[in-house]
Amino acid sequence: GQQLNQSPQSMFIQEGEDVSMNCTSSSIFNTWLWYKQEPGEGPVLLIALYKAGELTSNGRLTAQFGITRKDSFLNISASIPSDVGIYFCAGVSGGSNYKLTFGKGTLLTVNP
Amino acid sequence: EAGVVQSPRYKIIEKKQPVAFWCNPISGHNTLYWYRQNLGQGPELLIRYENEEAVDDSQLPKDRFSAERLKGVDSTLKIQPAELGDSAVYLCASSFGSEAFFGQGTRLTVV
Protein backbone atom coordinates (compact mmCIF):
# COMPACT_ATOMS: atom_id res chain seq x y z
CA GLY A 1 0.00 0.00 0.00
CA GLN A 2 0.91 3.65 -0.14
CA GLN A 3 3.36 4.87 2.45
CA LEU A 4 4.39 8.36 3.43
CA ASN A 5 7.79 9.04 4.92
CA GLN A 6 7.62 12.12 7.09
CA SER A 7 10.72 13.75 8.54
CA PRO A 8 12.02 14.70 10.89
CA GLN A 9 10.25 12.57 13.48
CA SER A 10 10.71 15.29 16.09
CA MET A 11 12.19 18.78 16.41
CA PHE A 12 13.17 20.84 19.41
CA ILE A 13 13.74 24.50 18.56
CA GLN A 14 14.00 27.91 20.14
CA GLU A 15 11.22 30.45 19.83
CA GLY A 16 11.76 32.64 16.78
CA GLU A 17 13.49 29.98 14.70
CA ASP A 18 12.19 28.77 11.37
CA VAL A 19 11.11 25.15 10.96
CA SER A 20 10.96 22.87 7.94
CA MET A 21 9.50 19.39 7.63
CA ASN A 22 8.72 17.23 4.64
CA CYS A 23 6.95 14.17 3.33
CA THR A 24 7.94 11.85 0.54
CA SER A 25 6.08 9.01 -1.08
CA SER A 26 6.66 6.25 -3.58
CA SER A 27 3.26 7.07 -5.09
CA ILE A 28 1.82 10.10 -6.83
CA PHE A 29 -0.81 12.12 -5.01
CA ASN A 30 -3.45 14.48 -6.41
CA THR A 31 -3.66 16.57 -3.24
CA TRP A 32 -1.43 17.16 -0.24
CA LEU A 33 -2.86 18.20 3.11
CA TRP A 34 -1.03 19.39 6.21
CA TYR A 35 -2.61 19.02 9.66
CA LYS A 36 -1.66 20.00 13.19
CA GLN A 37 -2.73 17.94 16.18
CA GLU A 38 -2.54 19.08 19.79
CA PRO A 39 -2.84 16.74 22.79
CA GLY A 40 -6.34 15.40 23.26
CA GLU A 41 -7.62 16.94 20.06
CA GLY A 42 -8.27 15.81 16.51
CA PRO A 43 -6.07 16.93 13.60
CA VAL A 44 -6.81 20.45 12.36
CA LEU A 45 -6.35 21.23 8.67
CA LEU A 46 -3.70 23.90 8.07
CA ILE A 47 -3.04 23.95 4.33
CA ALA A 48 -4.33 22.13 1.24
CA LEU A 49 -2.31 21.85 -1.99
CA TYR A 50 -3.90 20.83 -5.28
CA LYS A 51 -1.36 21.33 -8.08
CA ALA A 52 2.20 20.17 -8.62
CA GLY A 53 4.54 23.06 -7.87
CA GLU A 54 1.89 24.97 -5.94
CA LEU A 55 3.17 27.13 -3.09
CA THR A 56 0.57 28.17 -0.52
CA SER A 57 0.82 30.26 2.62
CA ASN A 58 -1.35 30.50 5.72
CA GLY A 59 0.07 33.15 8.01
CA ARG A 60 3.52 32.02 9.09
CA LEU A 61 3.03 28.64 7.42
CA THR A 62 4.11 27.91 3.86
CA ALA A 63 3.70 24.59 2.09
CA GLN A 64 4.62 23.35 -1.37
CA PHE A 65 3.37 20.53 -3.58
CA GLY A 66 6.44 18.90 -5.13
CA ILE A 67 6.89 18.92 -8.89
CA THR A 68 7.03 15.12 -9.01
CA ARG A 69 3.75 14.96 -7.01
CA LYS A 70 5.52 12.57 -4.65
CA ASP A 71 6.59 15.05 -2.00
CA SER A 72 5.59 18.11 -0.04
CA PHE A 73 7.15 20.35 2.56
CA LEU A 74 5.86 22.62 5.30
CA ASN A 75 7.75 25.61 6.65
CA ILE A 76 6.92 27.56 9.78
CA SER A 77 8.61 30.93 10.12
CA ALA A 78 9.39 32.73 13.37
CA SER A 79 8.05 29.92 15.57
CA ILE A 80 6.12 30.73 18.75
CA PRO A 81 5.28 28.51 21.75
CA SER A 82 1.75 27.82 20.50
CA ASP A 83 3.20 26.12 17.41
CA VAL A 84 3.87 23.12 19.64
CA GLY A 85 2.12 20.00 18.43
CA ILE A 86 2.33 17.13 15.99
CA TYR A 87 2.25 18.03 12.31
CA PHE A 88 0.94 15.44 9.86
CA CYS A 89 1.13 15.37 6.12
CA ALA A 90 -1.56 13.51 4.22
CA GLY A 91 -1.70 12.57 0.58
CA VAL A 92 -4.90 12.14 -1.39
CA SER A 93 -5.08 9.74 -4.30
CA GLY A 94 -8.24 10.34 -6.26
CA GLY A 95 -10.59 8.78 -8.71
CA SER A 96 -12.53 5.63 -7.95
CA ASN A 97 -9.76 4.51 -5.63
CA TYR A 98 -9.92 7.59 -3.40
CA LYS A 99 -7.62 7.28 -0.40
CA LEU A 100 -6.27 9.67 2.24
CA THR A 101 -2.95 8.43 3.64
CA PHE A 102 -1.20 10.01 6.62
CA GLY A 103 2.45 10.29 7.52
CA LYS A 104 3.59 9.38 11.03
CA GLY A 105 3.91 12.99 12.10
CA THR A 106 6.57 15.45 13.21
CA LEU A 107 6.52 16.39 16.89
CA LEU A 108 7.47 20.04 17.26
CA THR A 109 8.60 21.46 20.58
CA VAL A 110 9.28 25.19 20.88
CA ASN A 111 11.38 26.42 23.76
CA PRO A 112 10.34 29.94 24.87
CA GLU B 1 -20.68 26.42 11.54
CA ALA B 2 -20.41 23.37 13.81
CA GLY B 3 -17.53 21.04 13.19
CA VAL B 4 -17.48 17.26 13.35
CA VAL B 5 -18.95 16.16 16.67
CA GLN B 6 -17.97 12.91 18.34
CA SER B 7 -19.07 11.27 21.54
CA PRO B 8 -18.08 10.14 24.01
CA ARG B 9 -14.70 11.89 24.40
CA TYR B 10 -13.35 9.14 26.62
CA LYS B 11 -14.35 5.56 27.28
CA ILE B 12 -12.85 2.95 29.58
CA ILE B 13 -14.14 -0.60 29.29
CA GLU B 14 -13.10 -4.08 30.29
CA LYS B 15 -11.93 -6.45 27.61
CA LYS B 16 -14.65 -8.52 25.94
CA GLN B 17 -17.20 -5.76 26.53
CA PRO B 18 -18.91 -3.95 23.63
CA VAL B 19 -18.41 -0.26 22.91
CA ALA B 20 -19.91 2.20 20.47
CA PHE B 21 -18.80 5.59 19.17
CA TRP B 22 -21.01 8.19 17.55
CA CYS B 23 -20.19 10.82 14.96
CA ASN B 24 -22.15 13.74 13.52
CA PRO B 25 -20.36 15.14 10.45
CA ILE B 26 -20.34 18.69 9.15
CA SER B 27 -23.66 19.52 7.52
CA GLY B 28 -23.59 18.87 3.78
CA HIS B 29 -20.53 16.63 3.87
CA ASN B 30 -21.42 13.44 2.05
CA THR B 31 -18.16 11.64 2.83
CA LEU B 32 -17.55 10.31 6.33
CA TYR B 33 -14.46 8.50 7.60
CA TRP B 34 -13.57 6.55 10.69
CA TYR B 35 -9.87 6.48 11.56
CA ARG B 36 -7.95 4.81 14.36
CA GLN B 37 -4.88 6.51 15.77
CA ASN B 38 -2.43 4.61 17.93
CA LEU B 39 -0.02 6.45 20.18
CA GLY B 40 2.79 8.07 18.22
CA GLN B 41 1.25 7.20 14.87
CA GLY B 42 -0.75 8.93 12.19
CA PRO B 43 -4.45 8.15 11.71
CA GLU B 44 -5.22 4.95 9.82
CA LEU B 45 -8.44 4.54 7.88
CA LEU B 46 -10.97 2.00 9.10
CA ILE B 47 -13.92 2.80 6.84
CA ARG B 48 -15.10 5.46 4.41
CA TYR B 49 -18.72 6.25 3.54
CA GLU B 50 -20.10 8.08 0.55
CA ASN B 51 -23.57 9.03 1.81
CA GLU B 52 -24.92 5.80 3.32
CA GLU B 53 -22.70 3.44 1.31
CA ALA B 54 -19.49 2.02 2.76
CA VAL B 55 -17.17 2.38 -0.24
CA ASP B 56 -13.91 1.38 1.47
CA ASP B 57 -13.97 -0.95 4.47
CA SER B 58 -10.90 -2.96 3.49
CA GLN B 59 -9.07 -2.03 6.72
CA LEU B 60 -12.00 -2.66 9.07
CA PRO B 61 -11.51 -5.81 11.22
CA LYS B 62 -14.90 -7.21 10.40
CA ASP B 63 -14.83 -9.99 12.95
CA ARG B 64 -15.32 -7.50 15.77
CA PHE B 65 -15.83 -4.07 14.22
CA SER B 66 -18.99 -2.81 12.55
CA ALA B 67 -20.18 0.57 11.39
CA GLU B 68 -23.34 2.08 10.02
CA ARG B 69 -24.52 5.34 8.50
CA LEU B 70 -28.16 4.56 7.92
CA LYS B 71 -29.48 7.91 6.73
CA GLY B 72 -26.24 9.18 5.24
CA VAL B 73 -25.63 11.64 8.08
CA ASP B 74 -24.69 10.38 11.57
CA SER B 75 -22.55 7.29 11.93
CA THR B 76 -21.84 4.74 14.64
CA LEU B 77 -18.75 2.57 14.99
CA LYS B 78 -19.02 -0.49 17.21
CA ILE B 79 -16.52 -2.94 18.63
CA GLN B 80 -17.75 -6.23 20.04
CA PRO B 81 -15.99 -7.73 21.86
CA ALA B 82 -13.23 -5.25 22.63
CA GLU B 83 -9.64 -6.45 23.02
CA LEU B 84 -6.72 -4.84 24.84
CA GLY B 85 -5.13 -3.94 21.51
CA ASP B 86 -8.15 -1.84 20.55
CA SER B 87 -7.03 0.89 22.95
CA ALA B 88 -6.52 3.93 20.72
CA VAL B 89 -8.11 7.21 19.67
CA TYR B 90 -10.98 6.77 17.22
CA LEU B 91 -11.36 9.74 14.94
CA CYS B 92 -14.28 10.64 12.74
CA ALA B 93 -13.83 12.98 9.79
CA SER B 94 -16.02 14.33 7.03
CA SER B 95 -15.43 16.02 3.69
CA PHE B 96 -17.22 17.44 0.67
CA GLY B 97 -14.12 17.37 -1.55
CA SER B 98 -10.53 16.45 -0.83
CA GLU B 99 -10.25 18.35 2.47
CA ALA B 100 -11.17 16.17 5.44
CA PHE B 101 -12.14 17.78 8.75
CA PHE B 102 -11.78 15.84 11.97
CA GLY B 103 -13.66 15.63 15.21
CA GLN B 104 -11.93 15.65 18.60
CA GLY B 105 -11.86 11.87 18.75
CA THR B 106 -12.85 9.25 21.31
CA ARG B 107 -10.04 7.93 23.44
CA LEU B 108 -10.75 4.26 24.16
CA THR B 109 -8.96 2.41 26.93
CA VAL B 110 -9.55 -1.32 27.21
CA VAL B 111 -8.46 -2.82 30.55
- Tell me the pLDDT tens digit for each residue of A1-20: 567 899 999 999 999 999 99
Q: What is the mean pLDDT of residues B25-41?
A: 94
Is A40 close to B107, i.e. CB distance below 8 A? yes
- Contacts with A35 from chain B: Cβ below 8 Å: 102
Least-confidence region, from A106-110, B1-5, B75-79: B1-5
Question: Do residues A48 and B99 touch, judged by C-beta distance below 8 A?
Answer: yes
Which 6-35 residues of chain A touch chain B by CB within 8 A? 6, 30-31, 33, 35
How far, in Å, CA of A4 to CA of A16, rounded?
29
Q: Is B57 exposed, middle or buried (0-12, 13-18, 19+ CB in 10 A)?
A: middle
Taking residue B12's Cβ as centre, other Cβ atoms within 10 Å add up to 11
Inform me whether the C-beta atom of residue A104 falls under 8 Å from chain B C-beta atoms. Answer: yes
Is A33 close to B45, i.e. CB distance below 8 A? no
Query: H or E stretch including A64?
Result: strand A61-65
The confidence band for A43, taking pLDDT boundaries of 50, 70 and 90, is very high
Asked if the model's pLDDT at residue A93 lies above 90, the reply is no
- Percent of chain B clearing pLDDT 70 (strictly above): 99
Q: With helix as H, strand as E and coil as C, how does chain B read?
A: CCCCEEECCEEEECCCCCEEEEEECCCCCCEEEEEEECCCCCCEEEEEEECCEEEECCCCCCCCEEEECCCCCCEEEEECCCCHHHCEEEEEEEECCCCCEECCCEEEEEC
Q: What is the mean pLDDT of residues A72-86?
A: 97
Q: How far is A43 from chain B (nearest CA, A)?
A: 6
- Contacts with B93 from chain A: Cβ below 8 Å: 42
- Percent of chain B clearing pLDDT 90 (strictly above): 90
3-state secondary structure of A105: coil
Q: Which of A2, A98, A104, A106 to mutate to test the interface with B (most CBs of B within 10 A)?
A: A98
Asked if the model's pLDDT at residue B32 lies above 90, the reply is yes
The confidence band for A97, taking pLDDT boundaries of 50, 70 and 90, is low
Q: What is the mean pLDDT of residues A90-94?
A: 88
Asked if the model's pLDDT at residue B12 lies above 80, the reply is yes
Q: How far is B29 from chain A (nearest CA, A)?
A: 16
Q: What is the mean pLDDT of residues B63-79?
A: 95
pLDDT at A14: 97
Q: What is the mean pLDDT of residues A83-106?
A: 88
A19 DSSP assignment: E
What pairing do the DSSP bridges indicate for beta strands B44-50 and A106-111?
Answer: unpaired
pLDDT at B72: 84
Asked if the model's pLDDT at residue A30 lies above 80, the reply is yes
Query: Which residue of chain A is at minimal alpha-carbon distance from B31?
Result: A98
Q: How far is A92 from chain B (nearest CA, A)?
A: 7
Q: How far is A17 from chain B (nearest CA, A)?
A: 25
The confidence band for A98, taking pLDDT boundaries of 50, 70 and 90, is confident
Q: Find, among A64, A4, A8, A45, the residue nearest to A28 by Cα.
A: A4
| Interval B86-99: pLDDT, tens | 999 999 999 988 89
